[in-house]
Each structure stands twice: as C-alpha cells, then as structure tokens.
Structure 1
Amino acid sequence: MKDLNLLKRKLDEMSVNELYEYVKENYPENEDIGIGSKKLIIRRILNLERNRINAEEA
C-alpha cells in the first residue's frame, strides 16, 4: 500500500497532459484510461495498479 500512496502523490503533482503521457507510456493497452478529469485518470491508474498487486499475491 505504501507504493500506491507514493504513486498517488506522484500522479497528483502531474498536470493533465503529463498524466496522459504517463498513461501512453505505461499502459499502452489501456490508453482510454487517460481520458477524463484528472481525478478520474488517477483513480483508474490506482485501480489498475491495485489489481496488478492483488493478482501477483494470488
């Protein structure tokens, strides 16, 4: 969870354009998550990361 908090802080400091570029670089298969408000984009990224962590633990 500590990693998710660090990621959230990093994403909060980015502008919307920086977030869109971050999504394009790190989630090329899910580019549509970069569309919407800043708050929505951050929530989608955090959900993807949380799901990835849960899948690795299972």
Structure 2
Amino acid sequence: MEEFNQIKRKLDEMSVPELYEYVKKKYPENDELSLGPKKLIIRKVLNFERNRLNELEDAGCKG
C-alpha cells in the first residue's frame, strides 16, 4: 500500500504536461491511461498498477 501512496504523491506533484509525458513513456502500450483530466489519469495509473500487482501475486500463488 505504501508503494501506491508514493506513486500517487509523485503523480500529484507533476504538472499536467509532465504527467502526460511520464505516462506515455512508462506505459507506451496503454494510450488510454494518458487521456482525461489529471485526477482521472492518476486514478487509471494506480488501478493499472494495482491490477498488475494482483496478477503477479496470483501467478506467484499458483506457481
């Protein structure tokens, strides 16, 4: 959970152009993450990271 708080703080501190560039570089395969208002972009990024973490945990439990 602390990881998500750190990510959220980092994203909150960015300007809109910085946030857009960060998301485009970090998640090039997910164009939809960079679309919308700043709060929505942050929420989408956090949800994406949470889902990715859950998938890794599920794979670890099954493997």
Q: TM range, normalised to the smaller chain? A: over 0.9
- CA RMSD across the alignment: 0.6
Normalising by structure 1, what TM-score? 0.95
Larger of the two Rg values belongs to structure = 2
Gaps of 5+ in 1: none
Gaps of 5+ in 2: 59-63
CA drift at 1:42: 0.1
The count of residues paired between Structure 1 and Structure 2 equals 58
Q: Distance in 2 between matches of 1:32 and 1:55?
A: 20
Deviation beyond 6 Å, 4+ runs, structure 1: none
Task: Pick 1 or 2: higher relative contact order, CA cutoff 8 A, min separation 6.
Answer: 1
Aligned to 1:3: 3
Normalising by structure 2, what TM-score? 0.88
